[in-house]
Amino acid sequence: MKTYKVFFIILLTFIIHQKESWAQPDFNVTQLDNPAPGYLIFDWVSAKSFFAVDNYGYSVLNQTPSNGFKTSYFKQLSNGLWAVVSGNKFYLYDENLDLVDSLRPPSQYKLDFHDIIVLKNGNYLLLCTEEIVTDLSKEVEGGFADAILIYNVIVETNSIGTIFWEWNSSDHMKVSDASEGVNLRNKVIDLVHINSLFETEDGNILVSIRHY
């Protein structure tokens, strides 16, 4: 009886191993040189689906949202949820891509899809934008008297919309300090353009600002 049990375990292990070896990756990896753990994420503006693969080319996520909306950004957050942008809202999905929650910015702002993070306290940090009409005719040669400046706003919130803290770049960023790549003679000016957010070990917020 003991011999039979040992043989069965060996046979079962062999079958499982063979089944795994038969599975083919979705992508052919031509070079693998001790990469960092994690996923390669593929998405595109207005895509109808999105997917991620591991370092060996196997899909770990390859689905279309059940409600069929087009996406412009998706990211796996530190709490394990996938954040997907559609319109002016982040939709939050679990590992099975089932919708579990959603986040929207305060009504006076628009959502900026470039980043979203989960803070150590469990709240979410949203990146938003606001438009401020500014007279640049005296500050910039050829500037509009009614130029529309797009500033970033960082908002700490939760899934029920409580606002705990916000930071307005318009209170801190001078037009004259913008990089040379920003055309201040345009009617509508993407002045700040924050690309990413990060919470440091001491609880401060580090931001990457493309246009400064």
Q: Which residue has the higher pLDDT, 65 or 187?
A: 187
To the nearest whole percent, how much of the chain has pLDDT over 70?
81
Q: Which residue has the higher pLDDT, 67 or 19?
A: 67
Confidence of residue 26 (pLDDT cuts 50, 70, 90): confident
How far apart CA 166 and CA 155 sit, in angstroms, is 4
pLDDT for 187: 98
pLDDT for 130: 97
Confidence of residue 103 (pLDDT cuts 50, 70, 90): very high
pLDDT for 62: 65
From its phi and psi, is residue 176 left (phi > 0), alpha (psi between -120 and 50) or beta? alpha
How far apart CA 53 and CA 42 sit, in angstroms, is 8
**pTM (2 d.p.):** 0.76
Confidence of residue 24 (pLDDT cuts 50, 70, 90): confident
* Coil, strand or helix at 55: coil
- Does residue 200 surpass a pLDDT of 70? yes
pLDDT for 18: 45
Which has the closest alpha carbon to 91: 79, 104, 80? Answer: 104
Over residues 73-80, the mean pLDDT reads 86
Mean model confidence pLDDT for the chain: 85
Per-residue pLDDT reduced to its tens digit, 108-157? 999 998 999 999 999 999 999 999 999 999 999 999 999 999 999 999 99
CA of residue 161 relative to chain centroid, distance = 19
Lowest model confidence (mean pLDDT) among 48-52, 154-158, 187-191? 48-52
Which has the closest alpha carbon to 103: 34, 113, 52? Answer: 113
Q: Which residue has the higher pLDDT, 204 or 22?
A: 204
Lowest model confidence (mean pLDDT) among 32-41, 48-57, 77-86? 48-57
Q: Which residue has the higher pLDDT, 24 or 13?
A: 24
| Helix ranges (DSSP H) in the chain | 2-22
Integer CA distances (angstroms), 166 to 125, 162, 198, in order: 9, 11, 15
pLDDT for 45: 64
How far apart CA 179 and CA 120 sit, in angstroms, is 33
Residues 6+ apart with CB under 8 A from 138: none
